[in-house]
Structure 1
Amino acid sequence: MLNRVIKQFGLQVDSLTEVEDSHSSTVYKCTLTKGQNVFLKIPYTKLKFQRELEAYEILKGRVSIPDMLDHWSGDDECPGAFLLSELKGKPLTTEVSPTVAFQVGVLQAQMHTIHPLADQQFYGIKNEFANWSDFVEQQFYSFAEDVKIILDPQLYTQAIEKYEQMKHNLPSPDGPSFVHMDFRPANIIVDGDQVSGMIDFESVRFGSTEVDFTKLYRDFLSFDTTLYKAFREGYISIRPLIDLETVLPFYQFTDAFNSIGWCKRRGIEKNAVFLEENLARLKEFMKQQN
């Protein structure tokens, strides 16, 4: 399939390497014979291809993202493919300066200022905002079928009870806004003290902004209060920030729970480290809350 995609885009490839930490697509970094770096992205499904295609249409010129150089809608064997420019830099880490954290806040807030328009029609990206609580619940109980196989029965029952208890304490959702759904360091590219932009839009929706802070907090903001403060300042320079102290505990809990189910679906052995991390998070959360 890779050779077919390369041929489809008419590329003269000198070398290529598969990009790690891409969970919903197969991604290759290609160095062309002229020395230019580009990325080939093959989503796992037609729906993910369509979401990504529509996201580029929505975000172009409004948020810093790669340029879509070309795309192919695929056929019966291939869901589709994208040819993307390179954002200069590397994925975000906790070793960055507060200046970068501020820019990450700006980037996310800029994305959250994008709202659905009445005359826009999309086939891949859904507006889940009107039924946001139902959307979150549907995701939770969908993964629960997989989680049930992994967890001790008593812990599983306690987790379900905790979810039902916590969901009633949430404030009204904030939106409708464009939400990434996978806004984490691996999808935020940084070059020195500059944020180059964000990538990967296979899971995007219009929904409540509250869902987008969870993975960023888990993998970045929770490690350094200085970075957390700078991020907040960056975000509120663009738009108001929700009460994260109220909302985050619920989403941290559901993220750990859902991630356990995700590991079951995608392969326990292949995702053993991530599974153990989320089992530990869930158990610690249950201990703190009881």
Structure 2
Amino acid sequence: MLNRVIEQFGLKMKSMDEVEDSHSSTVYKCQLHKGENVFVKIPYTKLKYQRELESYEILKGNVAIPELLDYWNGDEECPGAFLLSELKGQPLTTNVSTTVAYEVGILHASMHAVQLPATKKLTGIKNEFDNWSSFIGKQFYSFAEDVKDVLDPQLYKQSIEKFERMKEQLPPPDGPGFVHMDFRPANIIVTDDRVSGVIDFESVRFGSTELDYTKLYRDFLSYDSTLYKAYKEGYESIRPLIDLEVVLPFYRFYDAFCSIGWCKRRGIEKNAKFLEENLARLKEILILS
């Protein structure tokens, strides 16, 4: 299938390497004979392909993203593929300046400020905002079927009860906005103390922004209060930021629980480290509740 995609795009390559930290697509970094780097991306499903395609159309000119050089709608064997330009740099780490954190805030807020297109009919990206509570519940209980096979029955029961209790205490949803659903350091590219842009749009929705801070907090903001402060300042230069202290406790719990289910679906042995991290987070949250 990869050879057919390469042929479809007419690529003449010097080298090709698979990108490891991609969970919903197969991605290859390709060096062309003229020295330029491009990326070939093959989503796992047609729906993920359609979401990504619509995202490039909606975000272009509004948010820093790779350039969509070409795309292929696929066939009965391939869900579709993209040819993307390279965003120069490396994934975000905690070892950055407050300037970078400020720009991450601007990037995030600029994405959340994107509204549903008035004239374009979307077939991949859904608007979940009006039924946000139901959407969150559906996602949670879908993963719960997998979590049940991993957690101790008492912890599982405690988790279900905590979810229902905390969900009722959430404030009104903030939005609708363009929600990335996987806004984490691996998907934020940084170079020379500046943010180059954001990648990977297989899971996006229009919905409440409240869900979209969780992974960034888990893997970046929680490590340094000065970076957290700079991020907030950058975000609020574009749009108001909700009170994260109110929503983060629920979504940190939600993320840990659903991530356990994700590991079960994608393979416990393959994702053992991530599974252990989230089991520890979940147990800590439940103990403190």
The TM-score with structure 1 as length reference comes to: 0.99
Partner of 1:123: 123
Q: SS state of the match for residue 131, structure 1?
A: helix
Aligned-partner SS, 1:75: coil
2:109 is the alignment partner of 1:109: yes
The superposition leaves residues 185-211 of structure 1 with CA deviations (integer Å, 9 ceiling, x where unpaired) of: 000000021000000000000000011
> CA deviation digits over 1:106-127, x for unaligned, max 9?
0000001111134331000000
Superposed, 1:158-177 pairs within 5 Å as 158-177=158-177
Distance 1:47 1:5 in 2: 18
- Residue 80 of structure 1 deviates from its aligned partner by 0.4
CA distance in 2, matches of 1:126, 1:149: 30
Deviation digits for residues 45-64 of structure 1 (CA, Å, limit 9, x no counterpart): 00000000000000001100
Paired AA for residue 15 in structure 1: S
Alpha-carbon displacement from aligned partner over 1:21-80 (angstroms, at most 9, x marks no partner) = 100000000001111100000000000000000000000011000000000000011010
Counterpart of 1:227 in structure 2 is 227
Report how far residue 147 of structure 1 moved.
0.2
Q: Which residue number corresponds to residue 4 of structure 2?
A: 4
Query: Who is 1:132 aligned against?
Result: 132
Is 1:179 aligned to 2:151, yes or no? no
Aligned twin of 2:90: 90
Check if 1:150 corresponds to 2:150.
yes
Match of 2:205 in 1: 205
Q: Which residue does the alignment assign to 2:269?
A: 269
Task: Tell me how many residue pairs correspond in the alignment.
Answer: 289
Percent of counterpart pairs with the same letter? 75
Letter in 2 for 1:92: L
SS across alignment from 1:169: coil
Displacement of 1:265: 0.4
Q: What residue number does 2:256 align with?
A: 256
Separation (CA, whole Å) in 2 of partners of 1:165 and 1:81: 42
Gaps (5+ residues) in structure 2?
none
Q: How does 1:229-248 map to 2 (within 5 A)?
A: 229-248=229-248
Please tell me whether the aligned partners of residues 90 and 189 of structure 2 are also in contact (alpha carbons under 8 angstroms): yes
Contact 2:31/2:37 (8 A) holds in 1: yes
Matched with 1:64 is 64
Corresponding residue SS for 2:102: helix
Ranges of 4+ aligned residues in structure 1 off by more than 2 Å: 117-120
Cα distance in structure 2, aligned partners of 1:30 and 1:119: 36
Q: Which amino acid aligns with 2:145?
A: E
Give the secondary structure class of the aligned counterpart of 1:144. helix
Instruction: Compute the displacement of 1:262 (Å).
Output: 0.3
Q: State the 1:224 CA deviation.
A: 0.3
- Superposed CA offset, 1:205-227 (max 9, x none): 00000111000000000000000
Return the alpha-carbon distance in structure 1 between the equivalents of residues 270 and 258 of structure 2.
17
The CA distance in 2 between the partners of 1:203 and 1:235, in whole Å, is 22
CA displacement 1:244-278 (0-9 Å, x = unmatched):
00000000000000000000000000000000000
Residue in 2 that maps onto 1:191? 191
Whole-angstrom CA distance in 2 between matches of 1:142 and 1:215: 19
Q: Take 1:21 and 1:31, find their aligned partners in 2: how far apart are those partners? A: 19
Q: Distance in 1 between matches of 2:238 and 2:232?
A: 10
After superposition, the CA RMSD in angstroms is 0.6
Partner of 2:149: helix, strand, or coil?
helix
1:149 Cα deviation from its structure 2 partner: 0.4
- Runs (5+) with no aligned partner, structure 1: none
SS in 1 for 2:279: helix
Letter of the aligned partner of 1:21 in structure 2? D
Aligned residue identity for 1:129: F
Q: Secondary structure at the match of 2:148?
A: helix
Once residues 167 and 22 of structure 1 are traced to their aligned partners in structure 2, the CA distance between those partners, rounded to angstroms, is 30
